[in-house]
Amino acid sequence: MRRVPYPLVVLGLAALFGLGVVLYEQASGGSDSSGSGPGSGTPRATAARACAAPRTSFTAEQPIRVTERATARVPVEVTVTGERAVVRARGESVASAEVTATAVVRATASAAIRACARAATPEEAERLATERAARRARRSARRAALRDVRRRVPARVERLRERARAQARERAEQRAREAVPEVREELREQAARRAEGA
């Protein structure tokens, strides 16, 4: 029987010892102390996910202002009988009025846009999703409301002009009627002078 050299025996024992150490570390150190690694039996924590689509409204406003002016004329006639003639004088009472009318054009639009979010808890995920969806819906509703306001403005301005024009005409006519006695007196004086000089 051949004797194995001593150095080879030492090397063989060292190799076996090293292999045993490696196998032991793999078997005992494969999972961390938290218990969340593979083979621990505890599932790894995952983020909660939530989605929301709240309906959000937006009201857009645009002030408008118009000014209309009207002039009214009321015929006035007087007759003066003198010693030698009868004189008839004609004229008119003229008055003007200006009216400024204002209004606000409003339009409301609403939108609902779905958005999702992830967070550590379901409550936090729902809150983030709701806020994100509300911001997007508000922007969309705002754009729609502004478009609607711009579309309504021309017709509203025309109605406002008609109303201001009617009010200006009514005020002008009232002022002209109120001035009739003064105009009539001036015409009577003119007619009297002409009758005296006839």
Q: What is the separation, in whole angstroms, between the first and last Cα of the chain? A: 177
Beta bridge partner(s), residue 66: 101
Q: Which of 141, 162, 150 is nearest to 62 (CA)?
A: 150
Q: Looking at residue 22, what is its pLDDT? A: 45
What does each of the 198 residues of the chain score in pLDDT, given as a tens digit? 445 455 554 455 555 555 554 444 444 444 343 344 444 444 445 689 999 999 999 999 999 999 999 999 999 999 888 777 788 889 999 999 999 999 999 999 999 999 999 999 999 999 999 999 999 999 999 999 999 999 999 999 999 999 999 999 999 999 999 999 999 999 988 888 887 765
Q: Looking at residue 38, what is its pLDDT? A: 45
CA–CA distance, 64 with 99 (Å, rounded to integer): 14
Q: Looking at residue 76, what is its pLDDT? A: 93
Q: What is the dihedral of CA 192, 194, 197, 198, to 10 degrees?
A: -110
CA–CA distance, 181 with 177 (Å, rounded to integer): 8
CA–CA distance, 60 with 108 (Å, rounded to integer): 6
Q: Do the Cβ atoms of 107 and 142 come closer than 8 Å?
A: no
CA–CA distance, 72 with 175 (Å, rounded to integer): 8
SS3 (DSSP) at 96: strand
Q: Do the Cβ atoms of 106 and 60 come closer than 8 Å?
A: yes
Q: Do the Cβ atoms of 137 and 54 come closer than 8 Å?
A: yes
Q: Looking at residue 80, what is its pLDDT? A: 87
CA–CA distance, 90 with 92 (Å, rounded to integer): 7
Q: Looking at residue 15, what is its pLDDT? A: 55
